[in-house]
A and B are shown apart, each in its own frame.
Chain A
Amino acid sequence: MTVDFAIVGAGPAGMAAATLAAELGLDTLLLDEQEGPGGQIYRAVERAGASSSAASPLGMDYLVGQPLATALRTSGAQYRPATTVWHIDPDGTLSLATDGVSDTVTARRILLATGAIERPVPIPGWTLPGVMTVGAAQILLKTADLVPDGRAVLAGQGPLLYLAALQLARAGAPPLALLETTPHENYRAAARQFGGLWPGRHAVLKGLGLMLGVRRASIPVRRGVRGLRALGRTRLERVVWDGGEIAAEHLFLHEGVIPNTQISLALPLVHDWDDAQLCWQPRVDEWGCASLPAIAIAGDGAGIAGAEAAVFSGRLAALDAAAALGRLDEAERDRRAGPLRAALARERAIRPFLDALYQPGPSVLAPAEDDTIACRCEEVTVGRIRRAVRLGAPGPNQLKAFTRCGMGPCQGRICGPIVSAVIAEARGVPIAQVGTYRPRAPYKPITVGALAGIATAK
């Protein structure tokens, strides 16, 4: 099968791009790993619309994903859910797997809209059952109406921490405490970014509303928390920090989100280390075009800017694809792009402030304690990485041969950011100089049977 435009990921960027591209007459295919559109931010949003139960505890900002999903469904774009993209050739061939059956599709243009993942939060004990991410708690609420049973603690920083605390409270499971890890010096750094506060005032108000909501819900907030640890024998029993501890069955961690670069690094596209967001970002132009021809990136996968911004960057990428494929002349593309760029600038205005305020502390990137696990799959500790560096492992890819770090089933998705930071610290060089993993296909494990299926089909 051949299409004009293949989009990977049905979050806000992918839904908006697919909808506009189909309207512009492109033969558009939207691929997504989940059962329904929405990505993680609007996960299972169609289900929330269909539900006749009382007002959703998830709030209005979640429900704004519904019109995006509805527009996608009526746009004429082909939408293929429950599908894993496990390889992309730079010539435009995508290898897919659905229900254990594999096939290939060729696209004239490809848009990666793979969004963000939560930044790993490597604290001592983070592999204990009972320790999860804040995003995981939200997904359980969105998809399964589940809330934590027993004492729950939220720890870390960022707007999502407050949002999740409020959502859990509204769903009848208020957390016992919110432990905020924002380093004190961040407040001074954020104060220097006040220029974005006025153009980004809608986001500031939203954030203040969340903080006020947490106070009204009587959730205790402890600020300046350092030395966070999860303790327990076979599962979480206590959450401990410098100067305090709480007995708890659940600990939900969050230190912001970073671009999901698994596919963009594997292709490979050119990436740069971003000193403000402390993460790797694929290098893109004003239309989202990346370093390989015919491949673009929209949404948080190209740098964290949030769900609202993702919609606009998705539409910009769709306009550019339509122009590149001759469905739109460049003057019309540029004319239509004007209001989108203005809206994108409005959404991005607050980012320098948020990036400074919620910049993770040094121990989030490179944990101080040697016995903290960095690679959850292969159970490689931070101390083992430091010893491998002393033995001569200069970078993340060489480290694999020394330790198997990054060679487990997650393919380095979780340990990648930690490994780069620990090696950089141990060598005394910037992370940008150390680099990161070069992931390989298949991007997700597939069965030999699925592979054999391609040959049989041909």
Chain B
Amino acid sequence: MFRPRPDAPAATVAVDVEGLTVAVPPGASAAAAVLLAGLASIRETPVSGSGRAPYCMMGVCFDCLAEIDGIPNRQSCMVTAQPGMRIRRQRGARDIDPDDAPEDLPSFPVPAPRSGGA
């Protein structure tokens, strides 16, 4: 729902927003790419699942949270777009799925419970 202004210098940084390729100028944020791509929303809230889009663009509101290059819950307005960056919707809270753990992960030593309680 945003477009480049007339006479804008060429946008040269191509990123992937939910499968759409858009180009933004060097130094522009991932959130700018999201708005240029015309996505209706970039995240769904963990509380009600309602769609949200970037609101403040200056790192205050956290409504632009997105999964960027596989890392969830990043403030997309604070992340500079890089060539080939993959920007995906943040759906609710982040998952921690035990099935995603690498096979060679060392087991975590669990301390024995102390008597007497906490």
Contacts and interface: CB of A to CB of B under 8 A. Distances in A.
B27 A36 contact: yes
Q: Name the prevailing secondary structure of the B interface residues.
A: loop
A47 B53 CA distance: 26
Contacts of A144: 11, 24-25, 28-29, 32, 36
Contact of B73 (A33, A150, A409): A409
A135 B2 contact: no
Given A133-B55, A144-B25, A413-B60, A149 B2 contact: yes
A410 B1 contact: no
Given A378-B47, A410-B60, A414-B61, A143 B54 contact: no
A260 B61 CA distance: 13
A250 interface: yes
Interface string A129-144: 1111101100111011
Q: Name the prevailing secondary structure of the A interface residues.
A: loop
Contact of A140 (B47, B51, B57, B61): B57
A148 B52 CA distance: 17
A136 B9 contact: no
A146 B36 contact: yes
A87 to B, nearest CB: 17
A172 B56 CA distance: 22
A136 B52 contact: no
A445 B29 CA distance: 18
A127 B50 contact: yes
B62 A140 contact: no
A54 B61 CA distance: 33
A129 B52 CA distance: 5
Contacts of A132: 53-57
B27 A136 contact: no
Interface string A115-131: 00110000000010111
Interface residues of B, number: 42
Given A36-B27, A129-B53, A133-B57, A140 B7 contact: no
Nearest to A133: B56
Given A51-B9, A140-B2, A250-B1, A146 B32 contact: yes
Interface string B14-39: 00000000001101110010011000
A444 B65 CA distance: 13
Interface of A: 33, 35-36, 40, 44, 47, 51-54, 57, 82, 117-118, 127, 129-133, 135-136, 139-141, 143-150, 171-173, 234-235, 249-250, 260, 376-379, 408-410, 413-414, 444-445
Interface of B: 1-9, 11, 24-25, 27-29, 32, 35-36, 40-41, 45, 47-48, 50-63, 65, 73, 77-78, 80
The 7 lowest CB-CB distance pairs between A and B, nearest first, are A129-B53, A145-B8, A144-B28, A136-B57, A144-B32, A409-B62, A171-B5
10 contacts: A44-B27, A53-B8, A133-B57, A136-B55, A145-B9, A145-B25, A146-B2, A147-B4, A409-B62, A444-B59
